[in-house]
């Protein structure tokens, strides 16, 4: 089923393209620290995963075949033959799927705070049941606790307020079905086939996708570079952009 994803495309015509893929429970607004820096030299395609932000939430459950083909359909619609992929968490999982299943479409790969395998499946199924029955409210406080350090979460930062608002606005069916996609995912076997130059970034205190998961990805992808952000949690790109954004910029736009 073709899904019309909410998206924006900015940057110099004819420049190389980078696709930014958001994490579970966020929207493409999460790329605010990175987008203006990339879009001076690259064409930047931001999109909302199905059920997130302005994208519709068709009935689930979803798989990463669905989420990955959403990106390929969007690239086809926009006549983009090849692009770099930068994703956080679920977005990084989408990037790994693309690099394994459509390698001819992927230039460079930035995998941020993500995992190739994230059991137990039962936990994700329980989350899906909860949000379908109760909406997003039960997810909000636990998620913010995983995403930000306690000090930053309590700081009154507008970044936290915007992130909370975006999470509260996620369509329950979209969140539930994407959770089921993560629960049924296992991308480990194909990591060795990834040929795109890859950077893997993890956060030392990330309880959602611990740094060992990132190291395992980097160890399995030939030539991949691994970077660790000390003292940070899952959405370090929002809490610690001064450390995360230069790593991504250097990898995606080395020239």
Structure confidence by residue, pLDDT tens digits, 57-98: 999 999 999 999 999 999 999 999 999 999 999 999 999 999
Q: Which CATH number fits domain 7-252: 3.40.710.10, 2.60.40.10, 3.40.50.1820, 3.40.50.620?
A: 3.40.50.1820
Mean pLDDT estimate for the chain: 97
CB neighbour list of residue 75: distance below 8 Å, 6 or more residues apart:
19, 45, 81, 83, 105
- Average pLDDT for residues 189-193, to the nearest whole number? 98
Sequence spans of domains, the chain: 7-252
- 3-class DSSP state for residue 191? helix
Closest CA to 200 of 248, 236, 237: 248
Instruction: Summarize pLDDT for 135-176 with one digit per residue, the tens.
Output: 999 999 999 999 999 999 999 999 999 999 999 999 999 999
Tokens 């499946």 identify what position?
121
């Amino acid at each position: 089923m073709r899904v019309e994803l909410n998206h924006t495309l900015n940057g110099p015509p004819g420049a190389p393209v980078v696709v930014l893929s958001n994490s579970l429970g966020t929207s493409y607004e999460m790329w605010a620290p990175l987008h203006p820096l990339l879009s001076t030299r690259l064409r930047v395609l931001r999109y909302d995963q199905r059920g997130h932000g302005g994208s519709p939430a068709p009935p689930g459950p979803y798989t990463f075949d669905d989420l990955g083909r959403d990106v390929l359909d969007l690239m086809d619609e926009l006549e983009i033959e090849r692009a770099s992929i930068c994703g956080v968490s679920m977005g990084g999982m989408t990037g790994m799927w693309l690099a394994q299943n459509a390698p001819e479409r992927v230039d460079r790969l930035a995998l941020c705070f993500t995992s190739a395998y994230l059991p137990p499946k039962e936990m994700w199924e329980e989350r899906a049941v909860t949000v379908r029955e109760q909406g997003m409210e039960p997810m909000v406080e636990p998620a913010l606790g995983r995403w930000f350090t306690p000090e930053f979460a309590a700081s009154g930062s507008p970044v936290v307020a915007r992130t909370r608002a975006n999470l509260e606005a996620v369509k329950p069916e979209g969140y539930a079905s994407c959770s089921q996609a993560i629960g049924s995912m296992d991308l480990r076997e194909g990591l060795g086939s990834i040929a795109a130059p890859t950077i893997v970034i993890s956060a030392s205190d990330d309880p959602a996708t611990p740094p060992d998961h990132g190291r395992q990805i980097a160890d399995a992808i030939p030539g991949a570079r691994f970077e660790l952000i000390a003292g940070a949690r899952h959405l370090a790109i929002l809490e610690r952009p001064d450390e995360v954004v230069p790593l991504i910029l250097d990898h995606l736009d080395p020239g």
